[in-house]
Amino acid sequence: MEKMKLKLLYSDLKSDIDIIEQELETAVNSSSHLINDASLHLLQAGGKRIRPIFVLLGAKFGDYNIEKMKDVAVPLELIHMASLVHDDVIDDSDMRRGRPTVKSQWNNRVAMYTGDFIFARALEYITKLEDPLVHQILARTMVEICNGEVIQIEDKFRLDQGLKDYFRRIKRKTALLISSSCELGAVAAGVDTKTVGHLKRFGYFVGMSFQIIDDVLDIMATDKELGKPAGSDLLQGNITLPILLLKDDPQMQPYLAKVFAGTLTEPERQKMLQYVRKSDAIAQANKMSDKYLKKALQEIDALPKHPVKKKLRDIALFMGKRKF
């Protein structure tokens, strides 16, 4: 239902998104049938395709040409996909989007090769663009995402961290790639530097809001909606915003101690989720997401007059209020 709403939001981009979907399938086509199976398995699991969408919307402020833009949009989605395949190895996740992960369907090594293959295909694709600036932006983003993941592992099961640590982590984990999607679409379409700056910051703020909502949904949504057990982030040791806001709560501490000791039972997980859901932490986290959303909307206001501004606003608002 939510995905339908999102599709409706960018219905006027449908033909271009269809081109990107087709191109994604072409991009992962391989002489290895195992890589083909694993990649198609990932593609068919769907996803919101928000990175390609932001590439296209960013490019609308300049010389828009879908044939050129697909060479930016496709690699960004591929990089996102590849990082998910490797993340599932790191997190030992068996399910994603309600489907078995590559590592659980095959094994870790197959997941590593599939991820490396998709990463390489992404770079092969984007080298159709010769502009070094495009590559510099994307390369720095990729390195920073990795740094963020390293920090995330270092921060696991650590309660002696603050909001600053959390925001620094989600910036690298999510906001940077969304920000770069907006920026790269605009740069590739020859948009002026000032507008590129607004789009880049818009992407950053939307990405921050998006990740906070994602972390809230990990607690608020059902196992079925998530396609994995609710509270998985915490069970894997990732301290997300709602948990961070509750870390000193005396009623929460026994649950945290059990999670960290790996002794939390299923009924206890349900009780813990119930407690967090009813707490003020959810409202506070939503408020912080709204703050970022507001900043994103301010960036849209600063953009030159263009019909696509309304689209950016609608998508940003949707992402900030989504229920899946």
Indicate whether 150 belongs to the interface with other proteins (CB under 8 A).
Answer: yes
Instruction: Give me the sign of the Cα torsion angle 97, 228, 213, 118.
Output: negative
The residue within the footprint of other proteins, chosen from 4, 11, 15, 33 (CB under 8 A), is 33
Torsion of CA 161, 167, 173, 175, to 10 degrees: 180
Find out whether 91 and 27 touch, Cβ atoms under 8 Å. Answer: no
Query: Taking the complex as a whole, how short is the minimal distance between the CB of residue 133 and other proteins, in angstroms?
Result: 9
Beta-carbon-side half-sphere exposure of residue 284 (alpha carbons within 13 Å): 13
Name which of 117 and 202 has its Cβ closer to other proteins.
117
Token readout for 197 is: 């700056």
The residue within the footprint of other proteins, chosen from 12, 92, 192, 280 (CB under 8 A), is 92
The residue within the footprint of other proteins, chosen from 108, 161, 279, 284 (CB under 8 A), is 108
* CA–CA dist 305, 302 (Å, integer): 9
If we measure between CA atoms, which residue out of 65, 29, 69 comes closest to residue 51?
A: 69
Residues 6+ apart with CB under 8 A from 195: 61, 186, 303, 304
Indicate whether 89 belongs to the interface with other proteins (CB under 8 A).
Answer: yes
| From 115-123, 191-199, 272-280, 316-324, span contacting other proteins (CB under 8 A) | 115-123
Site string for other proteins, 191-230 (x = CB under 8 A): ----------------------------------------
Name which of 146 and 159 has its Cβ closer to other proteins.
146
Cα 37 to Cα 30, 32, 43, distances in angstroms = 9, 9, 10
Indicate whether 262 belongs to the interface with other proteins (CB under 8 A).
Answer: no
Indicate whether 130 belongs to the interface with other proteins (CB under 8 A).
Answer: yes
Q: Point out which residues bind other proteins (CB under 8 A).
A: 30-35, 83, 86, 89-90, 92, 106-110, 112-114, 116-117, 119-121, 123-124, 127, 130, 132, 135-136, 138-140, 142-143, 145-147, 149-150, 153-154
